[in-house]
Every structure is written in structure tokens, then in C-alpha cells.
Chain A
């Protein structure tokens, strides 16, 4: 399975993602934002970081990068595109997934482990994951998911919510919402579910000597689903 990780000026989780993808069997290539063409890929990842210094709005500049037109075309033809953290912010700015990510409700940068509940498994990202709840890491200042009422209705009707913030038992409540996200939304799909944007970083949970291994479950499962 071939993957590509796009590096924008200011990306800083691109190499972590490279390590994670390779550890679970992907042949990964790093792709520079100013390139025009994507290498042949089964999965494209927009990594976390602070592309373009978060100028204007997080992800807004990166969403207009040269490579992004190829990424958008790839996604629109059914290709798997995953945006993590800043990558999620870039995805919403391209319009590939609905909504926006606002400043965290209590104005603080949040860096901690959280639990997320998988809302939908009828997709290549979470199909066959045994767990209902995963422990991931978040580190962001603008992760407060917001969309219009019309968009929310469409998202819910199409079952596009991927994961919600919850407690370790999978209880989705306000008190387990770290950043004020609408409906505790931590990740969302496009309508066809080939594009996934999520704030948590699975690539930070791939080793027991780091903060956990639920990211390993995610990546092992992902490559099997793509085969």
C-alpha cells in the first residue's frame, strides 16, 4: 500500500506520520506543498502542525497550495484522504468536509490524551476496529468544531460523524468535550466517507514508550482495510 504525506511550510507532525505509516507497512512518500502532482497513492495524509503560521485562519493558506488541487481531484475521484489536526483544518477550508474549526471555547491550547467513540464503522477507516472507544492524543488551539444547522442536519442524516469525544466508557457528554465542539465532534467524513478529518493524532499513540497504542490499532486496521 502506498501513502503520501504532504509537507506544508509549518507542518510539524509530518515525520511522525511517516514513522507511523511505515511501521504498519505503508510505503510512504513525503510530498512538498509546491509540487503539482501526487505520486500514485492509496492514501494521502495532511499532517498536523501550523501550516503558514496559522495566518488568516488555520489551514486557509495551505488549502490553496499548488498540491492541494491534486489532492482535491484525488479525493473527488474516491481517493482516501485523511487530515489530522491542522490537516483537518485544511480539509474544512477546501470544503472537502463540511464545517469549520473555531478557537477552543476556553481560549486555551489543549494538549492531552482524550477518549473518542467511533460513531460509524461503515467506512475504510474504522471498519473492523474491535474497540468502540479509542484513546488518542490532542494538541490544538482551534479544534472547536462548528457548522450551520443545515449542515449539521445533513451530516447527521448521512451519518458523517466519525468520532466523538467521550469518557473511557464511551459516554458522550458535555463534561468530556475538551474544546466546545458541536455535539462533541472530534472527526468527520465527507458524504462518501473516503475523506476523514479529525483533531486527534493517532500517530502519537503507536508505541508503549509514548503515550499508548490505540493508534497502532487504527493504522494496522487501516492498511488491512485498504488491501
Chain B
């Protein structure tokens, strides 16, 4: 089963890369952007076949390694 995780910076955390991407997009003519925030995306292919169990495991992975909860939020996307 494949489970996806999206990690984003919390809203109070400075994202200088997002800011530069915003400025560059702005310079390219995409001038109606309010803000750009950069994040990370993971695809985890697990042997677990039970949906809830797999999600619980991935949540544990997020808390222990994939995200740093001081600055990041994680969102687990329901497997198809």
C-alpha cells in the first residue's frame, strides 16, 4: 500500500526559499501571488495491508523522523 505524506512549515516559521520562489515568480510575470511556502512530499510503500494500521505507522514515522514538530506540520493523505 502506498501512503503519501506532505510536510509543511508552520505558519510562523520563516521560509526564505519560499520567499525567493515568490519573488522569482513575481519577476516572471505571475504577479497575483500572496505567498509561496515550500514543503516536502513523501511516498511510502508499505507491506501493511490494513489501511488504519498503515496510517498509524506512518503517523509514528512522521512524529519520530519525517517531521520536526517544532517547525513543521504533517498531513497524511488517505491511500487509494
Contact = CB atoms under 8 A, between A and B. Distances in A.
A147 B14 CA distance: 12
Interface stretch (A4-12, A21-29, A99-107, A217-225): A99-107
A contact residues, range: 10 to 19
Q: For the side of the interface on B, what is the size category?
A: 10 to 19
Contact of A106 (B16, B70, B71): B16
Contact of A99 (B14, B66, B70): B70
A100 B16 contact: no
Contact of A180 (B14, B17, B65, B66): B14
B44 interface: no
A148 B71 CA distance: 8
Interface in A40-88: 56-57, 60, 64
Interface string B41-74: 0000000000000000000000001101011000
Q: Is the interface of A mostly helix, strand, loop or mixed?
A: loop
Contacts of A57: 68
A221 B14 CA distance: 37
A129 B79 CA distance: 58
A147 B16 contact: no
B67 to A, nearest CB: 9
A103 B16 contact: yes
Interface string A99-124: 11011111100000000000000000
15 contacts: A56-B65, A57-B68, A60-B68, A93-B68, A99-B70, A100-B70, A100-B71, A102-B13, A102-B14, A103-B16, A103-B17, A107-B16, A144-B14, A151-B70, A180-B14
